[in-house]
Chains A and B, each alone.
Chain A
């Protein structure tokens, strides 16, 4: 009996040590891979990652104003750097978990050609992009159009999503013929989910480095440290790659 209760106590404390919880703010473009990674993470470590998805700029404002997030997976590298400088992120915890890829996507099959020449034809109603001022994928889209000398021609057809998810949703519902979104949103297991797409070559825009960091609120949370370590592991990296991201 005594031994049994000792075992019970050991189990309880072991469970207490391992079953931590971590609040994670995740950039909207990383929604699908992160859901998969969080499920693997729970299975492999017993820790639970509670995920919130949204725009990086909005998360910044919330974190600075005391939001309970412990880990931040941003859509860029400047926001985590700024948070670290301002004392809201744990110094030295930052690293690039994914390099984003931009894609010109249409919900219609055969609408977008493999070189993106559809942009030159002008035969489309709207182009959905994320707000270039705040979203790295939006900025990369504008940069790409500039490089193609098409910005002035295409700009009047811009509609802006509040974040990259809404940008895709405008295209998905057919309200915009075309949209510049993250490849990860329309890509799974190494291939396109549907519609047609031009994967924008990397030389058209600055690389989209997406950085993660442990936030001040997660400094002493073992689950937060474990999650960042897990993101660097082979299993998570394979998932990230399967959604079309590059790795650094």
Chain B
């Protein structure tokens, strides 16, 4: 494998983007998933639908809205400017925010399933033992939902690595800042550097397959036990 420095830079950037996005989504996605799993409010449906939107929306729609919203004339762009942060398109943190939206369902849905799978009983038992809700969450729910967290984390990470359309629309293809691996491959193809494209594409293929393989082989014995 002879990857160029710029390929390695793109891979490292992709890993950083996916890692940070996964961490942020763990913090944001867990309470959302918990609420969706437990709530009986009428607006549970609408919230669930909004969370699932990135599954079906074309990345161009998300990219278009984000570009306008985060731009100098958009509401979010004006907020970041007034905070002295400048505007977010073409920056690493702009990509992080886009990825958080883009990968949201991949974090929330597996967690929601895991929380729903726990059922009422362990929580009631914990309550009769006078555990506080916070205590219950950390010492009962989290351990029981562990497989859900692992699935959600892996899926979110992998899905962010596979992001392309949104990055293309708001990234501006800046080396080391927004030129992630998927965009780097696209660049190689456009520049007719097919050998380079092949090498990097093979890395992505092997990575994606390994991740999914790890997830599915982990899953099957758990299912048998259940």
Contact = CB atoms under 8 A, between A and B. Distances in A.
A158 B87 CA distance: 15
Interface residues of B, number: 20
B71 A174 contact: yes
A45 interface: no
Given A57-B191, A61-B190, A174-B73, A160 B68 contact: no
Chain A contact patch, size range: 20 to 34
Contacts of A176: 90, 172
A245 interface: no
A133 B172 CA distance: 14
Nearest to A58: B190
Interface string B163-185: 00000110011100000000000
B72 A174 contact: yes
B103 to A, nearest CB: 22
A142 B174 CA distance: 15
Contacts of A173: 67-68, 71, 73
B125 interface: no
A161 B189 CA distance: 15
Contacts of A158: 172, 174
A159 B174 contact: yes
Interface of A: 55, 57-58, 60-61, 125-126, 128, 131, 133-134, 158-162, 166, 170, 173-176
Interface of B: 67-68, 71-73, 86-87, 89-90, 168-169, 172-174, 186-187, 189-192
23 contacts: A57-B190, A57-B192, A58-B189, A60-B192, A125-B86, A126-B172, A131-B173, A133-B191, A134-B187, A134-B191, A158-B174, A159-B174, A160-B173, A161-B173, A162-B168, A162-B186, A173-B68, A173-B71, A174-B73, A175-B67, A175-B71, A175-B87, A176-B172
